[in-house]
Chain A
Amino acid sequence: HQTNISKDEL
């Protein structure tokens, strides 16, 4: 699911 990717970014 695409949203979890940017949650590991600052």
Chain B
Amino acid sequence: TVGAVAVDAEGNVACATSTGGMLNKMEGRVGDTPCIGSGGYADNLSGAVSTTGYGEDIMKVTLARLVLFHMEQGQSAEAASDVSLAYMKSRVGGLGGVVTVDPRGNWAACFSSRQMSWAAAQGGTLHHGLYAGE
């Protein structure tokens, strides 16, 4: 799965996610990616999220929308991402990752799996990572 979130100069947010799905999946199996609120969500009033991980678990917690609910309650992009991933892991044992932005230009790249390749560009600086802690 691959995905992106962005905030343009006018403060509009958007998300996009695309995937081949799960390895050796049943024919016709559809995961979280095309499901609004699970594979991605975007609202100028709170932010945008793109998710990756085990789709059946992401759908159980509607992970993308869950992150934004926490941000609407005042949590930062990073805290909201971490607490939502922790909920998915504790509630249904699911692993995954998210990239998150808010309309003011705060961002996060968080994951509960062993790794997630990510990159961010802001103010002319490129940030990137793959393993936890990078």
Tell me whether A and B are bound partners.
Answer: no
